[in-house]
């Protein structure tokens, strides 16, 4: 039995791509727009010993699985085609034949690619999973890749969160500026106010607010982000109003802020830590203060794994839940939820823009971080775009207020912002 025959035996229906294997066997239409080639027994071993997205990713990132007809910076089209494949459980004879073909060595997991993150403790008590030390390690893995790499992929805004497109024709930069404008307006900020931005990244929201006359403190666990943001603040002449610290948000002791923005942080803190997280936010606000929580969510509130590829290559220890769980936790600490909205389609467009940047600057990106890491980014961003388009994940804004003892937040009738 050949490799292609084994693949056909576990696929329910026709293959939408062409598969070719090192043993000379092939499956799928000869005129398919995309051709996948398994280059060696090692490639089969990756897939056989880690079924699902992890094994395929390992084979792809090491070059044991090659793909023709698509740029590695944006494999969206081939991922969309492969998502139509439906699998069935292999029969006993298929398993026996695969074991015979590969032998003991072939069924031993090959070493994973160097881009794979394996935190020192894979199985830990929930209380330790999001300790200060482990969170810093996870953030370092993803965000300290290379500031130059991020400049090439994200564009001039250096904004690594969902944009908000004012029109379908708007550019990525226009959409990111509009996102900051929307957050600023939802928070009802005015010159002279104080804003705390936790998980501030490269300081995009910090600098936007400071340009409008708002005194803003941003914190990030990424040293590289903090250094880049501090330099940008100085170059723009915003040092009298803007500050970015290399710090865990839990180390911020100042209180009495008029508003707090959390843009893309909730995904990293752990669902079980939401009460402490939103309690921290409430404690940092003055009575009448507002918080805007912007984060990736699921279309449901059931516990669901992020998947092995995302956990090991992209966001170690990341967790997602539905907007219902987030709203519940916000309410349970005593904040009043004023508004929520889903920007799912905007994130799909944002990811398409980032992939386009990666393709345009591919050679420089590879020179900066290596081809393996560049491939990780193309794979994850294209796959995420597909997931947002198919409503497998969402992006929610939740706006809430800290009311005073009389239940008043002192804000005008809603909405006081425009879309």
Model confidence pLDDT, tens digit, residues 64-116: 999 998 999 999 999 999 998 887 776 777 667 777 777 766 678 889 998 88
Task: Put the strands of the sheet holding 65-68 in their side by side order.
Answer: 26-27, 18-21, 35-38, 65-68
- pLDDT for 63 beyond 60: yes
CB 56 within 8 A of CB 38: no
Q: Average of pLDDT values for 358-387? A: 96
| Burial of residue 307, with CB atoms counted within 10 A of its CB: 0-12 exposed, 13-18 middle, 19 or more buried | middle
Q: Average of pLDDT values for 183-210? A: 98
The reported pLDDT for the residue numbered 106 is: 62
The H or E element spanning position 149 is helix 147-154
Domains of the chain and CATH, by start: 3-106 (no CATH), 132-401 (3.40.50.150)
CB 20 within 8 A of CB 43: no
More confident residue, 8 or 144: 8
The reported pLDDT for the residue numbered 141 is: 47
Q: What are the backbone dihedrals phi and psi of residue 139, each rounded to the nearest 5 degrees, phi first?
A: -65, -40
Mean pLDDT rounded to a whole number for the chain:
90
Torsion of CA 331, 184, 235, 362, to 10 degrees: 80
- Which range among 28-32, 42-46, 296-300, 340-344 shows the weakest confidence by mean pLDDT? 42-46
Place of tokens 């003991």: 104
The reported pLDDT for the residue numbered 175 is: 98
The reported pLDDT for the residue numbered 7 is: 82
Which of 337, 346, 374 has its CA nearest to residue 359?
Answer: 374
pLDDT tier at 305 (50, 70, 90 boundaries)?
confident
The reported pLDDT for the residue numbered 361 is: 98
Place of tokens 């564009």: 155
- pLDDT for 297 beyond 90: yes
CB 119 within 8 A of CB 65: no
Alpha-carbon distances of 233 from 77, 185, 204, 218, 292, rounded to whole Å: 39, 22, 10, 11, 23
pTM of the complete model: 0.91
Residue 215 CB neighbours (<10 A) = 17
Which of 259, 132, 140, 136 has its CA nearest to residue 206?
Answer: 259
The reported pLDDT for the residue numbered 135 is: 52
The reported pLDDT for the residue numbered 131 is: 57
């Amino acid at each position: 039995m050949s490799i292609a025959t084994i693949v056909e035996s576990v696929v329910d229906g026709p293959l939408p791509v062409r598969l070719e294997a090192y043993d000379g066997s092939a499956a799928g239409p000869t005129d398919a727009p995309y051709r996948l080639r398994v280059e060696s027994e090692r490639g089969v071993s990756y897939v056989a010993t880690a079924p699902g997205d992890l094994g395929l990713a390992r084979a792809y990132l090491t070059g044991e699985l090659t793909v023709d007809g698509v740029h590695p910076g944006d494999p969206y089209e081939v991922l969309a085609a492969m998502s139509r494949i439906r699998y069935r459980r292999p029969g006993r004879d298929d398993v026996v034949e695969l074991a015979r073909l590969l032998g003991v060595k072939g069924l031993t997991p090959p070493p994973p690619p160097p881009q794979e993150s394996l935190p020192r403790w894979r199985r830990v008590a929930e209380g330790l999973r999001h300790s200060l030390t482990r969170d810093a390690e996870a953030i370092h893995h993803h965000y300290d890749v290379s500031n130059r790499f991020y400049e090439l992929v994200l564009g001039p805004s250096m904004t690594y969160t969902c944009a908000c497109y004012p029109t379908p024709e708007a550019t990525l930069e226009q959409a990111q500026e509009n996102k900051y404008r929307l957050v600023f307006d939802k928070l009802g900020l005015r010159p002279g106010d104080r804003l705390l931005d936790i998980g501030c990244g490269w300081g995009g929201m910090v600098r936007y607010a400071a340009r409008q006359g708002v005194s803003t403190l941003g914190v990030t666990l990424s040293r590289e982000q903090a250094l880049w943001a501090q330099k940008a603040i100085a170059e723009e002449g915003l040092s009298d109003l803007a500050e970015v610290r290399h710090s865990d948000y839990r180390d911020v002791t100042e209180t009495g802020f008029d508003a707090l923005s959390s843009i893309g942080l909730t995904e990293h803190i752990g669902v079980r830590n939401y009460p402490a997280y939103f309690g921290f936010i409430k404690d940092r606000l003055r009575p009448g203060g507002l918080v805007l929580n912007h984060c990736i969510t699921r279309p449901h509130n059931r516990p669901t794994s992020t998947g092995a590829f995302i956990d090991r290559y992209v966001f170690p220890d990341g967790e997602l839940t539905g907007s219902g769980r987030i709203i519940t936790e916000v309410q349970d600490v005593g904040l009043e939820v004023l508004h929520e909205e889903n920007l799912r389609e905007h994130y799909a467009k944002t990811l398409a823009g980032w992939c386009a940047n990666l393709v345009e600057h591919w050679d420089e990106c590879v020179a900066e971080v290596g081809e393996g890491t560049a491939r990780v980014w193309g794979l994850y961003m294209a796959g995420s775009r597909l997931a947002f388009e198919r409503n497998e994940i969402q992006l929610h804004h939740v706006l809430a207020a800290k009311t005073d003892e009389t239940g008043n937040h002192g804000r005008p009738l809603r909405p006081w912002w425009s879309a």
